[in-house]
Structure 1
């Protein structure tokens, strides 16, 4: 199945323009964008070997060649080449905006861009141009980045359809399903053969295009794990920052109590550069919470790229739930399979070999509490159709309450241009356009959100948020860090995403290996499922991104485990070649 024509025709038109474009001189070695880092791209432009226009052309050529297999984008910037030419002219005149000058990146399609549609993947918002840019978009463009595309997503950040008819990750009504480049096939199992991927793409953000070098990096958004999970699933580095380190203004919300935007990239270096460009130099008057963390000097995180950063670091290994099952109220929760456990043992050995002081175990109090009322892992979110009013005791209402409160406020900020003015109107629009495919998986999360009363349910939301903070912060991350005097805790795969998101604290995932893709029920006989990427995560307390970047970079440079997806290498140079430790100069 090809991606939606609106994407494909734009890609073809842009790719066709390449034929008449000026190429590098015959004597110049071609620049291979596959797995190229932002510093490598920047150095090539600084040396005159490469222009931004050529760089954009190379990425557009990859999109034109492979997009039909992956469905990574919702839309392509039709003016990307013209923007690159303007940035080349600035560079020639001696004006270089920063480390992203002329670099193509993508944004999740719930982040406002006024020059490319912002749709959330919803049919109701098809072709919609918002009246203002997201602050993070403006910051990236001011830093010289070219927004080459809007990346795919689960429709409106996966708060449309939950149980009993769960929307698959990276599905939206506009473009269908995104596929994982590490196994870009569709699920053949009965009752799952609706086009969804055989290998999960992770959360509601898409890392597909970054993994396959369609662009240098992308920005995702994370309410409960949708930066960390897709980064883990696509062998990327993902950073979920501290709540409001990056402005949320101009990002379609689920709940502003937990929503956060962050970078997804192929290396820690690229993710650190992206984070600095996304962060504002000053607090954003449209997002009062942005004054919480102080930005590093010049918003530059690269001084923390220290290959010896693990030397003397105190890293905790929480075993309960993350590695070993824990009994809570007669239920066994968590634990790792053999392959993942072996990888984690190897990863812990790397920490020790790099000079870290490993505290093992370093248990999180709210994870080992045998009382279900005091255990984080039994304090779930009310996100299913079965958790409507009257059936939502024992779970946090924050996501469904915040969706009603913040989504309606976001729609109001769009003014008269908005296709709908309330969540109620969006639900009604979807019902009226069901035959056009507006709600393939229904809209149970919209339904349970829309019944919330912002005033009458305010106290319930506040109480649930207080319990969230108690279990994830005071008896969670802060407790374990303080008890063992830790710099960070170290967790397998994307499992640390939920705790960090509920605490609103930073988390970084780094690629490390592969595990079997062996779902239940199993794939049919003869379907040779390729393995799934598997990373490791570092979690710290509020505003600890500089230290976490240092730890993650040191681990990455000691291991260098990222592997480009096979079949998408189209290399004219060194694609797939092993890398040495990077210079941070």
Structure 2
């Protein structure tokens, strides 16, 4: 939909709500416009292949919301289409698959807590998006954005100058879809870099919240100690709005008890253009040792821009953990077994062992890149008191908090640590700490580069201030040219 009254491309929540109020747009028209764009560019044309399933009830829900618009108490997400990563359950007639063929008939009977929160806020769940299969916890040989069920997600910026498969993982579909303007905002999930990586790779904003700020119940798990859902959007403001709608204490997820009194239902008061003024930012330059010259130049420019906005940027050293932890593999087995025990009868697998056996029945189709990560997890204990697991988790936690991020941030009195893309994701992930990534520029080949702010638990308000200040001053994001992508694909196929 491109009319004189409303411009779909890069439309923000605020702009859409204004168009609703001025009767220039309805939710039905907005949903249809996104459906048309998905048909044109995701299913056809460049075939970004990010949207796995469309919600068949989306237009009906939009019509119902249009009829009720204008009543008191309606939130900013009212009537706004949202895409969810396909490991998040919804009660809509769409399966929740994690990209696995074994789960293609996994139809949930109720919403996950996150989906229910979004629906309560008036959001329209437009569909489910593709992802790296099992949230990129299947094979080290796999490609980001590939799943047996959905195929390969492409990076909308990947015309012909870099690998279009370089889309980031595992929330690849969310990143590519939101970058391509297939919905207003989207939800990804992260264990270690799975929101930050595709957000950076697709030139959008991603927030990896503190573990416990957002419920994980009825989301296909990897790690109880690191998993979280989080917002992905084209602007910091939209990501902040989405985050506020997702928070809440869920009795089905004990980790959310820690967010009581610390979570906000509205993060928008922290959209401050002067957020970097006087901020103390730490940068460990050893994380940049292997960067390509162009990407390094973008990072150094970002640092200079933050300094010009009043930030104090200090070089620090973040202690690194050389220990090889198996925490994720222990927790994956335990979490997946618990999840599959409650799967509908139509789902042919009821345990991780069943999944492994199912895939071996048709390896070319079901496990194209292997499944050694699943098999490693299956070989370990699922006992939460297993001495090796307990030891590994204690080492992870201590090295990432008391002997890691806390040590550095307290010593230098920092507001945040700064990383390029998702290079430093592992340390905050092990700690359960939050991060936010923001577009920082593009290489000469057109590849997006992001910068990521990380800080201690429940510091989302401060991180949003820093990210918003940087975003508003630099305005680095450019929408991908999907028409150019189409022309490039046609040219390459003919040559």
1:463-542 matches, within 5 Å, as: 463-515=391-443, 530-542=445-457
- How far did 1:38 drift? 1.0
TM-score by length of 1: 0.79
CA separation of 1:184 and 1:138: change in aligned 2, threshold 3 A: farther
Aligned with 2:259: secondary structure? coil
Write the deviation string for residues 269-326 of structure 1: whole angstroms up to 9, x where unpaired. 010011011112xx2100011021246686000000000111111111222x2134xx
Q: C-alpha deviations, 1:247-274, integer Å up to 9, x for none? A: 0001000111111110111000010011
Structure with max Cα Rg? 1
Which of 179, 203, 208 is matched with 2:154 structurally? 179
Partner of 2:360: 431
CA distance in 2, matches of 1:67, 1:343: 30
What pairs with 1:23-102 in structure 2 (closer than 5 Å)? 29-68=4-43, 69-92=47-70, 94-95=71-72, 97-102=74-79
1:70 alignment partner, SS class: coil
Q: For the Cα contact (< 8 Å) 2:169–2:198, is it kept in 1?
A: yes
For the 8 Å contact 1:268–1:553, the answer to whether it is kept is yes
DSSP 3-state at the match of 1:102: coil
Structure 2 unaligned residues grouped into runs of 5+: 486-495
Deviation at 1:199, TM superposition (A): 4.5
- The correspondence for 1:129, drawn from 107, 116, 122, is 107
The one of 195, 203, 206 equivalent to 1:235 is 203
Structure 2 CA distance, aligned partners of 1:453 and 1:358? 44
Taking the TM superposition and a 5 Å limit, the aligned residue runs for 1:249-398 are: 249-280=217-248, 283-294=249-260, 299-319=265-285, 321-324=286-289, 335-359=290-314, 361-364=315-318, 366=319, 375-376=320-321, 378-379=322-323, 395-398=324-327
After superposition, give the CA deviation of every residue in 1:76-106 in whole Å (9 maximum; x if it has no partner). 11111111000111115x2553110010110
Q: How does 1:100-249 map to 2 (within 5 A)?
A: 100-115=77-92, 116-162=94-140, 166-184=141-159, 197-206=163-172, 207-249=175-217
Partner of 1:391: none
- Count residues in correspondence: 479
Secondary structure of 1:250 counterpart: coil
Deviates more, 1:29-38 or 1:456-465: 456-465
Measured at CA, do residues 235 and 295 of structure 1 come closer, stay the same or move farther in structure 2, by a change above 3 Å?
Answer: farther
Q: CA deviation at 1:555?
A: 0.6
Which residue matches 1:459? 387
Spell out, residue by residue over 1:443-491, the C-alpha distance to the aligned partner (whole angstroms, 9 max, x if none): 1111111111223972111111111112211121111110011110111
Work out whether residues 131 and 414 of structure 1, in 8 Å CA contact, stay in contact via their aligned partners in 2.
no
430 and 276 in structure 1: CA distance in 2 versus 1, 3 angstrom threshold: same
State the 1:30 CA deviation. 3.5
> Does the C-alpha gap of structure 1 residues 298 and 160 become closer, same or farther in structure 2, counting only changes over 3 Å?
closer
Asked if structure 2 preserves the Cα contact closer than 8 Å seen for 1:131 and 1:417, the reply is: no
Give the TM-score of the pair, scaled to structure 2: 0.93
Distance change (3 Å), C-alpha of 1:402 and 1:296 = closer
Give runs of ≥4 in structure 1 deviating > 2 Å.
184-187, 293-298, 413-419, 567-570
Structure 1: runs of 5+ lacking an equivalent:
1-22, 188-196, 325-334, 367-374, 380-394, 517-529, 571-585
Contact 1:112/1:133 (<8 A) preserved: yes
Q: 1:305 to 1:564 in 2, by over 3 A?
A: same
SS of corresponding position for 1:426: helix
C-alpha distance in 2 between matches for 1:569 and 1:138: 38
